[in-house]
């Protein structure tokens, strides 16, 4: 694309983002920050982990966004007896006595992995390959997944009995860890009114799959000043207790910090955050805007922080 075309595409992205936001807000009330972070991850080619108690419309959020984006959507309920073949697909004998591969629910644009920590590591690992490589392997053959491809996984932070906690390597594959909190009083009144009136809400499709791919390619080309990259790398370095940039609190309360993938995601997320606001290049404020959901699941606090009731979020905010 020419530079003029890039400017026009950036302007179209800003308009499309506002239209997307308005359409999603017809159904999802009072979760503006969550919606914004999910949309940033989509345009950044990232995956999201949504953490919240049951009943906060996490599933509804994902299905609503997939509708307004014009994407195919599949929901997978993760259970302790779910096997890799249940999500990837399996080979069967057809009527000609030849093996035929039947695709599983991963072969779609938008996957909701509901309660991902309830399934065994073997199935979690199968999802991990799909997230990282955007392909799956069955019976020695590799199959490419649809483009664009996103995984939105949900996790219940309360019930941990009978669960398989996600290992750090898999957590690191998620661009954002988004906390879905209870709605405010006024928002909850609106939610109850809209969901108990029998009124059907019509959603308009704002983008196509190809539009999303075009916007993703544009964001990848956005230039970033060296001082912004240096700030992002230094910010991640501050989370590591052994780093020269680490504060006294980090050395005291953090077991281990974020890895280089966090620095990469900070820059990609900052570029997207800037583009959605119509800016031609991200600044330090854009990095800070995406830092919390990117760093939240990449830092582990120690027993001292647990004993003193310190949260990872409060430690991250102190690094700004």
Looking at residue 3, what is its pLDDT?
A: 67
- pLDDT, block means (10 residues), the chain with 320 residues: 69 87 87 91 92 82 87 89 89 80 89 87 85 83 88 78 73 90 88 81 86 90 94 94 86 89 95 92 94 92 86 86
pLDDT of residue 1: 45
3-195+205-210 CATH fold: Rossmann fold (3.40.50)
Instruction: Please state, in angstroms and rounded to a whole number, the distance separating the CA atoms of residues 258 and 172.
Output: 9
The CATH number corresponding to 222-318 among 2.60.40.10, 3.60.21.10, 1.10.8.80, 3.40.50.720 equals 1.10.8.80
Predicted local distance difference test score (pLDDT) of residue 249: 85
**Which sequence spans correspond to the domains of the chain?**
3-195+205-210, 222-318
CA 212, CA 219: separation in Å to the nearest integer? 11
pTM: 0.89
What is the model's pLDDT at position 47?
93
DSSP string, 189-205: HHHHHHHSS-PPPPPPP
- CA 105/CA 90 separation, integer angstroms: 11
Asked whether this chain's domains 3-195+205-210 and 222-318 adopt the same fold, the reply is no
**CA of 135: how far to CAs of 77, 146, 153, in Å?**
20, 9, 18
């Amino acid at each position: 694309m020419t530079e003029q075309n890039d400017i026009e595409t950036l302007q179209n992205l800003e308009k499309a983002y506002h239209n997307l936001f308005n359409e999603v807000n017809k159904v999802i009330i009072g979760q503006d920050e969550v919606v914004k972070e999910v949309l940033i991850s989509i345009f950044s080619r990232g995956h999201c982990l949504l953490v919240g108690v049951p009943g906060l419309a996490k599933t509804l959020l994902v299905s609503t966004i997939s509708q307004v984006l014009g994407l195919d959507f599949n929901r997978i309920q993760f259970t302790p007896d779910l096997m890799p073949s249940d999500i990837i697909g399996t080979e069967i004998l057809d009527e000609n006595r030849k093996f035929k591969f039947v695709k599983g629910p991963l072969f779609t644009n938008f996957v909701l992995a509901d309660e991902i920590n309830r399934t065994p590591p073997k199935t979690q690992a199968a999802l991990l390959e799909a997230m990282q490589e955007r392909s799956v392997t069955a019976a020695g053959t590799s199959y490419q997944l649809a483009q664009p491809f996103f995984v939105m996984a949900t996790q219940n932070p309360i019930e941990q009995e009978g669960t398989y906690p996600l290992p750090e390597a898999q957590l690191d594959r998620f661009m954002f860890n988004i906390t879905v909190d209870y709605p405010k009083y006024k928002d909850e009144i609106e939610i109850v009114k809209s969901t108990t009136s029998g009124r059907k809400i019509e959603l308009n499709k704002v983008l196509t799959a190809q539009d999303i791919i075009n916007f993703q390619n544009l964001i990848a080309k956005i230039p970033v000043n060296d001082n912004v990259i240096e700030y992002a790398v230094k910010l991640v370095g501050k989370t590591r207790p052994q780093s020269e940039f680490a504060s006294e609190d980090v050395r005291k309360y953090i077991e281990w910090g974020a890895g280089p993938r966090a620095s990469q995601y900070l820059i990609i997320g900052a570029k997207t955050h800037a583009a959605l606001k119509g800016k031609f290049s991200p600044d330090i404020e854009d990095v800070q805007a995406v830092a919390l959901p990117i760093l939240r699941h990449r830092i582990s606090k120690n027993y001292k922080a647990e004993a003193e009731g310190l949260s990872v979020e409060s430690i991250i905010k102190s690094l700004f």
